[in-house]
Amino acid sequence: MPLAKLDSITAAEARRLNAQLKFLGSPRVQLSVLLNTSNNTFFPSATFVRKHLSRAVELDVIVHGNSPTHTESDIFLKLLSTATPLLHTLSVSFDCSSKLESFLISSPWFGGSAPSLRRCRFYKAAFYAPVFSFVRVVFFLVDDNSRLEHLNAVLYQFPQLEELCIRCHNPLDRSRSRLKSPPGLMCLWLEGRVARLLKYLDSRAVPSVIIRQTVTPELTRMRHLVREPVKILDIIPYEDQPDLVFRSLLVRITESPQRSRVLEIEIPIADELVNDLLFSHLTTLSLHDPHRLRDVELPSMPALTHLAVYVAGPLAALHDALQPWALPRLRRLELVFTCAPGTNHRDCPAADITKFITLNLQAKSRSVGLVIRGAKVIEPSVAELSAHVASLDVEFHVRVPNAAPVWVRAADFENVWNGEVTLRDAM
């Protein structure tokens, strides 16, 4: 039963909720509460949480207040010493005095007994307690007072950590200390200003790294993320607000089946060396939603041999959306026509395909093996199209959903946290 209020609980509300839970047979609960020592709701709020903590599967707590009195310290100590055998997810936010924060951090969280705890979110609170020893997913929202040394020391105490997201909206301390990824870490998200500290990050052992910021890193930073020239790449135009013209691309670099890097980059890329690192040696590209490029010129890709284009709208619309794009070494082209659920199979005029290959891609079409997936090629000019390419394969009955690729959804940590995608999807 979710009790997702995220507010203080008055004595009257506590009595009413206690009665409801008793009537329901004391079910498992999700607790969300504000513990504010500055008003008279603190005692009933803390008492209510303590009473039901043994049946809580999720706990979301925000702490407000100044230096705790002896009575308040005793209340906190009793609450934080309560075992919670079912708790799976914990969110903690500190918006309180440094003395109260220090007292909370040093408290015996859950009396050292939370055997089911696997996921934690920390808002402006970076600390470790022995009860976190089985936690596998951690999120930190850090403030501008945080230092890498402290964060590094905290991270290395999570022995089972597999997924980690660090987010910061303000510049972090530019420490000389390197942020080393904990052993066993499988996926790392860096969001906001913290992504600017790539040169302080040692992520070589992490299979999946996701960088979310709108400013393309300079080469000195990129080298800490991408060690070798990129060969395999996925690209999708990206914008947080879909109604606006996009300003960046979300790209996935596939280094091996078990190793990838996802980052957000500006277009055009101002740093030519970064452009060279990402695109000059590229051999395989998957391009999603190209109609959203809106007359943007893509970088030169002279080594590209394999191109897959995911087409959501009419192919003819790409004649204007996609600038001429010289691909002299292209040998295989897959045009994948996506469709919305419940819609019919799509049709595409052969003449539109011929024009796309010869004008938009400027490819040597007679050397290109063409695969059409999810659409029926219709007359006129089917014979002309077939004569223009090295081979033509039409997979008419294949249906590809018109949805963001799973790796795009996994690039948003919130989707992983909410269970919409899995760790495997992020890799």
Mean pLDDT of the chain: 84
Instruction: Give the pLDDT score at 197.
Output: 66
Q: Return contacts of 9-17, CB within 8 angstroms, 24+ apart.
A: 9/33, 9/41, 9/44, 9/45, 9/48, 10/41, 10/44, 11/44, 13/44, 14/44, 14/45, 14/47, 14/48, 17/48
3-state secondary structure of 55: helix
- Closest-CA residue to 376 (of 339, 344, 347, 355): 347
The pLDDT of residue 377:
87
Strand partners, 114: none
pLDDT at 2 over 60: no
Separation CA 363–CA 368 (nearest Å):
8
What is the mean pLDDT of the segment spanning 248-252? 87
Backbone angles phi, psi at 65, to 5 degrees: 145, 170
For the chain, domain boundaries: 1-118
CB 34 within 8 A of CB 60: no
Q: Are strands 284-288 and 346-349 parallel, antiparallel or unpaired?
A: unpaired
User: Which residue in 291, 358, 362 sits closest to 327, CA to CA?
Assistant: 362
Verify cis geometry, omega within 30 degrees of 0, for the bond prior to 2: no
pLDDT tens, position by position, 116-152: 999 999 988 888 999 999 999 999 987 755 566 677 7
Q: Provide the pLDDT confidence category of residue 307 given band limits of 50, 70 and 90.
A: very high
**What would the two tokens of residue 8 be?**
């203080």
**Segment 184-207 mean pLDDT:** 80
Residue 4's pLDDT band (boundaries 50, 70, 90)? Answer: very low
pLDDT digits (tens, 9 = 90+) for 60-92: 999 998 888 899 999 999 999 999 999 999 999
Asked if residue 202 has pLDDT above 80, the reply is no
What is the per-residue pLDDT for 174? 58
> What letters, b where the CB count within 10 A reaches 16 and e where it falls short, cover 102-132?
ebbeebebbeeebeebbbbbbbbbbbbbebb
Neighbours of 404 (CB within 10 A): 17
Q: Is the pLDDT of residue 156 over 90?
A: no
Compute the average pLDDT of residues 222-236.
84
The predicted model gives 336-346 an average pLDDT of 83
Position 40 pLDDT exceeds 70: yes
Instruction: State yes or no: pLDDT of 262 exceeds 80.
Output: yes
**pTM value surpassing 0.75:** yes
pLDDT of residue 203: 79
How high is the pLDDT of residue 38?
86
The residue-averaged pLDDT of 392-404 equals: 87
| Structure confidence at residue 243 (pLDDT) | 52
**Distances in whole angstroms, Cα of residue 274 to Cα of each of 220, 224, 230, 248, 268:** 9, 12, 11, 15, 11
Q: What is the pLDDT of residue 299?
A: 80
Tens of pLDDT along 288-306? 988 887 766 778 888 999 9
- More confidently predicted of 103 and 178: 103
Q: Average the pLDDT over each of 98-102, 235-239, 284-288 and give the range with the smallest value.
A: 235-239
- Confidence at 56, pLDDT banded by 50, 70, 90: very high
What is the model's pLDDT at position 397?
Answer: 86
176, pLDDT greater than 60: no
Query: Over pLDDT 90: what percentage of the chain?
Result: 35
